[in-house]
Amino acid sequence: MEPLLQISHLTKNFSDGKEDEYKAVDDVSFELFPGEKLAIIGESGSGKTTVVNMITRLLDSTDGKILLDGEDITHYKRNKMKNIYRKMQMVFQTPTESFDPRCRLGDAVAESLRNAGIPKKEAMEIVKELFKQCGLPENFMKRYPHEVSGGQCQRAAIARAIAIKPRLLILDEATSALDVTVQAEILQLLDALQEERQMSYLFICHDIALVQNFCDRVLVMPTKVPLLLSETIEKIMESEAPLCCPVYEGRRGHPVMIAADWIPKILNYQGEYGLRSFLREPEADVVLEEIPVDDRGIIQAVETDEDCAMAMSGNHGKLPLHSRMSLYLECDEVFFGPGIAQFLSLIDHTGSMQTACKQMHMSYSKGWKIMKTAERELGYPLLITQSGGAEGGFSQLTPKTKDFLNRFLQMEQEMNSHASRLFEKYFGDER
């Protein structure tokens, strides 16, 4: 069976507009198959949301490849993504922020259908059925996001996501803002919809207990990050065993892949060394598949630059050589680069500067500071904003800003294309 979603060596660097860069995602690879529910578990700040934002093309990746149903969408822009979004939809963490506060829930759900060419009257009839499927009364179609509870709003968000019958539904911490009872209701709803529609789910979460009865596979990473080779992850993801871990020179290491039906046993285990000793229990040991790898990083935690250098100087394996180029614009100082380009793209997509700040993990005040610096250098405002009031608040790019951003992104794309060809010319034999 061919994978529906294939992620290869995905990497994302953020910049503060100067020379310093922060690596939010480093060489991530995995596959998701048709009809499968896969959970990615990690601590806050591990880059889970950044990964899904790159998959959905809300953010550009620094490196790597994204294939959806065999189609390379890594560098697709908005015009090409319209057709892709018919195959892939996303449910966000905070449901109220994913809706336009000025728009009724029924109209918001119907919008995706109308964008697909369905007449308004027919679209509203479909919305009625979608609300029924998602456990919402018909009269909720006329309510605004702030007039319903968080769970009800999330049900509406799910209705909107499944309206055009996508093959892949991405849920980024989609239940974390809800109480325990509502979480269970939403997961039951998702289970029923998945069985009915045969969708694939990519579930991003930090709570392993939450997904124990929901997902088919769970990939667990330790708090201390091993310096892993991407090939190690790929080998583990190919395993069909209920328990799987890599082995280097006879020593088991991380990451461990666990079938969902084994999670309750792990959570109830009272052994002294937790997961490590559980995997040595006869019940687990007999079904665990050991994957031999030439990767010392599975047994070596990397927390500092010194740790990384030490690991690389040992028998860890050769990391793939690749090129990296970044485009920055300056007048008296650097004021525009990949970071602010992504920031503006997110504002353009979400209609909210606050939401864009959250997705880029920065404070609202820092977002304004970045914006004002760019406006000072360019000599014109970048945004049209409205705060609160009867019509609700919003942020949108000015036509001049959109033009500037598009030219920057086009130049960046052409530059990276030339850089890739030059890299292959001069360093292709070093890979």
* Helical ranges in 238-274 per DSSP H: 263-268
Q: Is 107 helix (H, G, I), strand (E, B) or coil?
A: helix
* Helical ranges in 314-398 per DSSP H: 338-350, 353-359, 364-378
Question: What residues contact 32, with CB distance under 8 A and at least 6 apart?
Answer: 3, 4, 5, 6, 38, 168, 200, 202
Average pLDDT value for the chain: 80
Q: Give 306's pLDDT tier (boundaries 50, 70, 90).
A: very low
What pLDDT does 223 receive?
Answer: 46
The CATH code of the domain at 329-427 is 1.10.10.10
The CATH code of the domain at 221-313 is 3.90.550.10
Asked if the model's pLDDT at residue 49 lies above 70, the reply is yes
Instruction: Give the residue-averaged pLDDT of 336-359.
Output: 80
Least confident stretch, 5-14, 181-190, 300-309, 357-366: 300-309
Asked if the model's pLDDT at residue 111 lies above 80, the reply is yes
C-alpha to C-alpha distances, 408 to 166, 364, 387, nearest whole angstrom: 32, 24, 29
What pLDDT does 387 receive?
Answer: 57
Asked if the model's pLDDT at residue 65 lies above 90, the reply is yes
DSSP string, 146-195: GGS-HHHHHHHHHHHHHTT--SEEEEESTTTTS-HHHHHHHHHHHHHHHH
Query: How much of the chain exceeds pLDDT 90, in percent?
Result: 11
DSSP string, 277-327: HHTTSHHHHTTEEEEE-S-GGGG-B--SHHHHHHHHHSSS-PPPP------
Per domain, the residue ranges of the chain are: 221-313, 329-427
Instruction: Give the residue-averaged pLDDT of 150-178.
Output: 84
Which residue, 125, 142, 11, 6, is CA-closest to 68?
A: 6
pLDDT tens digits for 126-146? 999 899 888 889 899 999 888
What pLDDT does 316 receive?
Answer: 44
Least confident stretch, 63-72, 239-248, 415-424: 415-424
Q: What is the pTM of this model?
A: 0.54
Q: Is 51 helix (H, G, I), strand (E, B) or coil?
A: helix
Which residue, 254, 260, 370, is CA-closest to 301?
A: 254
